[in-house]
Amino acid sequence: MATFAKGVVFEGVDFDDPNSWRLEEYVKRGGYAGLRRIADEKLTQDQIIAEMKLSALRGRGGAGFPTGLKWSFMPRSFPGQKYLVCNTDEGEPGTFKDLDIIWNNPHALIEGMIIGGFTMGATVGYNYIHGEVFEAYERFEEAIEEARAAGFLGANILGCGFDFQLHAHHGYGAYICGEETALLESLEGKKGQPRFKPPFPASFGLYGKPTTINNTETYASVPYIVRNGGQKFLELGKPNNGGTKLFSISGHVNRPGNYEVPLGMPFAELLELAGGMRNGKKLKAVIPGGSSAPVLPADIMMNCTMDFDSIAKAGSMLGSGAVIVMDEDTCMVRALERLSYFYFEESCGQCTPCREGTGWLYRVIHRIEHGHGRPEDLDLLLSVGANIAGRTICALGDAAVMPVQGMLKHFRSEFEYHIENKRCLVDH
Amino acid sequence: MLEVEIDGKKLTVPGGSTVMDAANSVGAYIPHFCYHKKLSIAANCRMCLVQVEKAPKPLPACATPVTDGMKVWTHSDSAVKAQAGVMEFLLINHPLDCPICDQGGECQLQDLAVGYGKSASRYEEEKRSVVNKNLGPLISTDMTRCIHCTRCVRFTEEVAGYQELGMPGRGEHSEIMSFIGKTVNSEISGNVIDLCPVGALTSKPFRFSARTWELSRRKSVSPHDGLGSNLTVQVKDHQVKRVLPLDNESINECWLSDRDRFSYEALNSPERVTKPMIKQGGVWQQVEWTVALEYVANGLKSIVADHGVDSIAAVATPQSTLEELFLLKKLANGLGVQNTESRLRQHDASFATAGVQWLGQSIVELAESDAVVVVGSTLRKEHPLIAQRLRQAVKHGMKVAAVNPHGDDMLLRLAGEVVTRPDQLVEGLLAVLKATVEIKGATCPAHIDTSHTEITDVARGVANILAAGERASIILGNLAVQDARAAEIHAVAAALAALTGATFGVLTAGANTAGAELIGFNAAGDVFATPKKAYVLLGAEPDFDTANPVKALAAVEQAEMVVVLSSFQSCAYDYADVILPVSPFSETSGTYINMEGRPQSFNGVVRPLGDTRPAWKVFRVLGNLLGLHGFDYGTSEEVRDEALAAGVEARLNNNAVAHVHVKARAAGNGLVRLAEVPLYQSDVLSRRAPSLHATVDAQVAETLRANAATLAALGVAAGDKVKVEQGGTAELVVALDARLLDQVVRISAGHPLTRDLDSAAALQVAKA
């Protein structure tokens, strides 16, 4: 996997050095300086939150919620236990960036969480790691031990009277546990099912205590901001879209992998970084933000820049930054069938529209793909989708519907062809 | 208070209310499945989606908190569209097999489908089918019908106290099931049948025996424990088909114990007696009522004439109605006979209170206590719904402690617990008393000597809870009242209550234990200790209902005349001279007084079976036949009014008649028996309900239980057969009960397998 190494999250990381992830190397490249700055300059919680807001760092897990604002929601004066949770349960098809962070630069995450703990008055943190990346989980445990041994975790960190403990926890691969409240349930030892909100985790989170949950990449961006100031981070990207972002590029490109680039980079440039289209084929469509983001056809995509606002304007989402590139030979019916199968399998089954509706969507698309489609099926898909979207406890229902809506919006004719001719429009 | 507008109606609701609460308060019905007033909010069915002003999406009414000024439309186009969308999803995988579904006609899904469903489905794919589960003898499953509302799951976890059901699997593969290979064994499990909004969980005993619309619904009162659960008895063709709860927030809420719910099977048992019978020359003959009653009248008269008034005893169970007991007593007294008694399981003849034993407060007040100490009770089995009440209260801060001869899990967080040998319950309480005296800096009452008592840590724990409670209660259970040292237990517990200002109460064992006390029925003490010449047994079975069945059977066997008034065949054929078929609670009007002193009257729900007659009418005729005054009642209500003429409240009094001197005794050093009456042997009906006897509870009652050390000392292991010798013998299978103390063996009383045992005799256990 290739990675653009001059960013924030991977700043200074030597991907060819097997020890680059270690604490010693991390410190050499400026690691834990952010934490030291807090200790030396006696930064206050409010000052850090102000820097976070200034940086325009937006949540890297998919929703793109401003991190500084989220941190300010935490009731810091609440006298009881508060928790900090990191969501490394990346299960969205197309997304593989957080794995690279805990594998190549775990201390950036650890430092970011310590700073988060200090800022929000949480003394215990958990990192919930996806169940299918066990080696990375073990390395992260090792990194925690290093940090503990160096005094960055534990009691009275760097003499500033602040205690913080961090624990890693690995899940068992259920996609739904990436939903933050399902993650909390799972962390508590229960079946991973989303909670109804409100109450939100900031008031009723882990074990019912105020909790802030951020994505791995979000936390890993924090040390840079504290070290260099929010303004510098903001300037890396563009207004309202501060900093760099990891894009996991997969599909029909020459060099799939993670690329850390400034937010706002034109898509064409990113595609170039990934080596361009495989076998010289033409770009057909892109799913710009993980499997739940609506697909965008090539012409729209080539005019987009890679940031939250541009992609939203084009009718999709930057999401987690998983860019799935599809060339001209891709059958959109088959692609959607595969996507729908994923959501059908991963629905937690708790609430009715998603439990029943995702199976319905998949079966109809499956039928179309296998030559048993009916003309009225496309309207049925949209109607069933409308009955799921916005009616469920969590966003998985929406996530299952958006690919369907996106595909039918931009590639409806291909579906109609499939229904009529009982075969694909493209040769593959 | 918050202002909210529901469908254009303005109202104010307390802070923290949900939209569902607000809608309920103005009678606006919002369709729902997973929501239930007694369960936590799951918001998973999505049927209650409503339109809320400024909300971009429809919101679930059950989980959306009301905010000030909120405007809600429960039946606007957008709300109904959302609800209809959910209904469509619920139905796509539902088998729609209403014609062969037991829930048909009383199904929430069916009812709401009429309002929100379409006549044809757009879903033409394959439907899901789900394998059925074996949840035990009471709950039948058709899991393909399940709509995953998780009410049953939440019930077992939150109300029954132990999550026996769960929903493993994801998405469409989610299934409600028990732990692998396990059934649902809660003593209140049947409530999941009521909670299930579809036909996934239905009643196994009732299954396919009637359609809901064929059934008449009649109110009644449960004839089992002292709670007096309110019942809706459903009948068809003069037969009880099913028993369901009748909501009464101050008694059973919307729940029933399985005993309340399924004991009706006995009412239709082939063991019912339906004809009066007289034994002549050793042969039973069916006779007309007039013949039988004249025989009884003449017999009783001649016994009195020949042997005097003390030679007769009238014995009843606390499941008899107030009217029956009142007339039986009046009849006996009319003959000059004073020996009437219903405290048949009491071992301690010296235990008596100044008035009617009762809870000392209402059931609701008990649940509002901040500290409750339960003394001598298998609470979950003796009083299943009281245990449930306390379980809910614990979640809201109540502290519950127990002083018990066992360590049974009450399925609630116990704040303190003293476990004693069965013969040392008094000493366990004395330690708590001594600790309380110390904490309070008070002096111990003169009649109680704690000088030989040592304060244990666990006793201090219980004392602390009691002392800290501002509204504390101490309640005595069946094991305490039936203990051989009941008077001492009572004295120490009462002293504890006096010292701490706690309310002192008794969980009355039977449906009408308080009623029997109220009318002064309990006048004789142990009627079997010195055998009588004649016995009149009302519903009482000497081999099961008594403290010492061996002695009781011997007493009735030697009697010259035994008159049995019963609904059922029994071994009375061996010892009785006359058997009069009388109505069970379902076939007579009557009144029970529950543990809070509340009289609850009910009517017969079906007509008496065969020639069966209500016992109060039998006594009325007998009174007239004997030429006694005051038997000219037209209705049972007249009897009741006379029985209650002096009122109830003034007679409720848990104080001892006189101070009992208490002093710690050294613990014995041999095997000691914990003899509890099992859940489904408590009365004539539960003894004869086959489904209840197929439960795990019933199976456990058949075993001899002891802890590992005791089993090792006896040289036996779980599963072995042992021979128990105690007066008589019994052969039992051994099981482990880790929470018993050393040398304690738990052997059921009032059970067919142990009826030959004499609980007062020396105990020996050996491998069979």
What CATH number corresponds to the domain at position A270?
3.10.20.600
Distance CA B756, CA B2 (A): 67
Mention every residue, 6+ apart, whose C-beta is less than 8 A from residue B189. Answer: B135, B136, B138, B139, B156, B160, B164, B258
Which of B45, B63, B169 minimises the CB distance to A349?
Answer: B169
Q: Is residue A37 part of a domain?
A: yes
Answer yes or no: do A219 and A295 share one domain: no
Answer yes or no: are the C-beta atoms of B357 and B487 closer than 8 Å.
no
Substitution target in A356, A370, A393, A396 with the highest count of B β-carbons within 10 Å is: A356
Whether the predicted pLDDT of A6 surpasses 90: no
Residue B474: how many CA atoms within 13 Å on its side-chain side?
29
Q: Quick check: A251 and A324 in contact, CB under 8 A? A: yes
Q: What percent of chain B is predicted at pLDDT more than 90?
A: 98
The arithmetic mean of pLDDT across residues B313-341, rounded, is: 98
Name the domain boundary from A201, A236, A271.
Answer: A236
pLDDT of A7 higher than 90: no
Verify whether the Cβ–Cβ distance A390 to B41 is below 8 Å.
Answer: no
The answer to the question of residue A189 being in a domain is yes
- Which candidate from B86, B123, B169 shows the least CB-CB separation from A352? B86
- Picking from B88, B148, B172, the nearest residue to A387 by CB comes out as B88
Interface test mutation site (partner A, options B50, B88, B91, max chain A beta carbons within 10 A): B88
Contact yes or no for B43 and A391 at CB 8 A: no
pLDDT, residue A226, reads: 96
- B interface toward A at CB cutoff 8 Å? 41-47, 49, 56-58, 60, 63, 65, 82, 85-86, 88-90, 92-93, 122-123, 125-126, 128, 147-148, 166-174
Contact (CB<8Å) A196/B60: yes
Nearest chain A alpha carbon to B44 = A351
CB distance B744 to B754 below 8 Å = no
pLDDT of residue A3: 52
Same domain? A72 vs A200: yes
- Mean pLDDT within B261-285: 96
Nearest to A76 by CA among A49, A50, A37: A49
- pLDDT tens-digit map of B408-454: 999 999 999 999 999 999 999 999 999 999 999 999 999 999 999 99
Q: Of A348, A352, A356, which is closest to B170 when you measure between CB atoms?
A: A348
Closest partner residue to A355 among B60, B123, B174, by Cβ? B174
Which chain A residues touch B if contact means CB-CB below 8 Å? 174, 176, 191, 196, 198, 344-360, 363-364, 367, 380, 383, 386-387, 390-393
Residue of A nearest to B82 (CA): A387
Report pLDDT digits (tens) over A120-150: 999 999 999 999 899 999 999 999 999 999 9
Would you say residue A273 lies in a domain? yes
Q: Which residues of B touch A348 (CB under 8 A)?
A: 170-171, 174
Closest CA in chain B for residue A174: B170
Contact flag B45-A344 (C-beta cutoff 8 Å): no
* Chain-chain contact of A191 with B63 (C-beta, under 8 angstroms): no
Q: Clarify whether residues A194 and A231 are in a common domain.
A: yes
Report the sign of the C-alpha dihedral through residues B158, B160, B166, B172, in that order.
negative
pLDDT tens digits, one per residue of B495-547: 999 999 999 999 999 999 999 999 999 999 999 999 999 999 999 999 999 99
CB of B660 within 8 A of CB of B487? yes
pLDDT of residue A62 exceeding 90: no
A221 and A90 assigned to the same domain: yes
| Measured distance CA(B472)–CA(B372) in Å, rounded | 6
Mean pLDDT over the full length of chain A: 94
- Above 60 in pLDDT, residue A92? yes
Nearest to A353 among B89, B128, B174 (CB): B89
Contacts of B60 in chain A (CB under 8 A): 196
Domain range for A70: 10-236
Task: Count CB pairs under 8 A between chains A and B.
Answer: 100
Shortest CA distance from B65: residue in chain A: A198
Q: Do A356 and B44 count as a contact with CB atoms less than 8 A apart?
A: no
Of A196, A347, A358, the CB nearest to B43: A196
From the list B44, B49, B172, which residue is nearest A359 (CB)?
Answer: B172
Measured between its terminal Cα atoms, the distance across chain A in Å is: 26
Is the CB of B46 less than 8 angstroms away from the CB of A351?
yes
Minimal C-alpha gap between B18 and chain A (Å) = 12
Per CB-CB distance under 8 Å, the chain A contacts of B172 are: 344, 347, 349, 355-356, 358-359
- Provide the shortest C-alpha distance from residue B21 to chain A (in Å): 17
Report, in this order, helix, strand and coil percent for chain B, each rounded to 5: 30, 20, 45
> Total domain count for chain A?
3
CA distance A387 to chain B (A): 5
pLDDT confidence of residue B115: 87
- Report CA Rg, chain A: 22
- Contacts by A178-183 with C-beta closer than 8 Å and gap 24+? A178/A61, A178/A87, A178/A89, A178/A90, A178/A91, A178/A92, A178/A130, A179/A394, A179/A395, A179/A396, A180/A85, A180/A87, A180/A213, A181/A394, A182/A348, A182/A394, A183/A85, A183/A87, A183/A89, A183/A128, A183/A213
Q: Which of A296, A311, A327 is the last residue of a domain?
A: A327
Nearest CA in chain A to B51: A391
Nearest CA in chain A to B56: A390
pLDDT of residue A256: 96
Q: Is B173 close to A174, i.e. CB distance below 8 A?
A: no
Which among A327, A360, A392 is the end of a domain? A327
User: What is the rounded CA–CA span in Å between residue A415 and residue A412?
Assistant: 5
8 Å CB contact of A391 and B90: no
Q: Indicate whether A2 belongs to any domain.
A: no
Are A357 and A389 contained in the same domain?
A: yes
State pLDDT tens for residues B341-356: 999 999 999 999 999 9
pTM for the full predicted model: 0.95
Distance from the B64 Cα atom to the nearest Cα atom in chain A, whole angstroms: 8
Q: Are residues A323 and A336 in the same domain?
A: no
- Give mean pLDDT, residues B3-22: 96
Tell me the chain A residues in contact with residue B147 when contact means C-beta distances shorter than 8 Å: 352
Q: Which residues contact A71 (CB under 8 A, 6 or more apart)?
A: A49, A52, A116, A119, A120, A212
Residue A413's CATH number = 1.20.1440.230
Cβ pair A198:B45 closer than 8 A: no
Q: Are residues A115 and A148 in the same domain?
A: yes
Q: A63 and A157 share a domain?
A: yes
Residue A358 falls inside a structural domain = yes
CA distance, residue B174 to nearest chain A CA (Å)? 6
Q: Do A350 and B148 touch (CB under 8 A)?
A: yes
Asked if A271 and A316 sit in the same domain, the reply is yes
Q: In DSSP terms, which residues pair with B721 in a beta bridge? A: B733
The residue count of chain A comes to 428
CB contact under 8 A, B47 and A352: yes
Q: What is the pLDDT of residues B241-262, one digit of tens each?
A: 999 999 999 999 999 999 999 9
Together in a domain, A228 and A255: no
Q: Do B172 and A380 touch (CB under 8 A)?
A: no
Residue A261 lies in a domain: yes
Q: Given this model, what pLDDT does residue A1 score?
A: 45
Residue A393 distance to chain B (closest CA, Å): 7
Do A127 and A213 lie in one domain? The reply is: yes
Q: What is the pLDDT of residues B637-696, one digit of tens each?
A: 999 999 999 999 999 999 999 999 999 999 888 999 999 999 999 999 999 999 999 999
Query: What is the spatial distance between Cα B634 and Cα B632, in angstroms, rounded to a whole number?
Result: 6
Nearest-CA distance A331 → chain B (Å): 23
- Measure A389 CA to nearest chain B CA, in Å: 9
Domain-embedded: residue A362: yes
Give residue-wise pLDDT tens across range A22-41.
Answer: 999 999 999 999 999 999 99
What interface predicted TM-score (ipTM) does this complex get?
0.94
Closest chain B residue to A374, measured at CA: B124
pLDDT at A5 (0 to 100): 47
* pLDDT score of A316 more than 50: yes
- Location of structure tokens 């325009």: A56
In a domain, A428, yes or no: no
User: What's the pLDDT at A69?
Assistant: 95
Clarify whether residues A34 and A132 are in a common domain. Answer: yes
> How confident is residue A428, by pLDDT bands cut at 50, 70 and 90?
low
A358 and B58 within 8 Å at the Cβ level: the answer is: no
Q: In what order do the strands lie in the sheet with A283-287?
A: A257-262, A244-251, A322-327, A283-287, A296-297
pLDDT at A265 over 80: yes
Burial class from Cβ neighbours inside 10 Å (0-12, 13-18, 19+) for residue B291 reads middle
The shortest CB-CB distance from B125 to any of A176, A348, A360 is to A360
Task: Name every chain A residue with its beta carbon within 8 A of the beta carbon of B174.
Answer: 348-350, 355
Band (pLDDT 50/70/90 cuts) for residue B759 is confident
Mean per-residue pLDDT over chain B, rounded: 97
Contacts of A380 in chain B (CB under 8 A): 122
Give chain B's domains with CATH numbers: 2-198 (3.10.20.740), 212-268 (2.20.25.90), 277-347+513-646 (3.40.50.740), 363-506 (3.40.228.10), 668-767 (2.40.40.20)
Residue A2 has pLDDT above 60, yes or no: no
- Give pLDDT tens digits for A351-363: 999 999 999 999 9
A364 contacts B89? CB cut-off 8 A: no
Do B172 and A356 count as a contact with CB atoms less than 8 A apart? yes
Q: What is the domain-level CATH number for residue A191? A: 3.40.50.11540
With beta carbons under 8 A apart, name residues in chain A contacting B47: 352
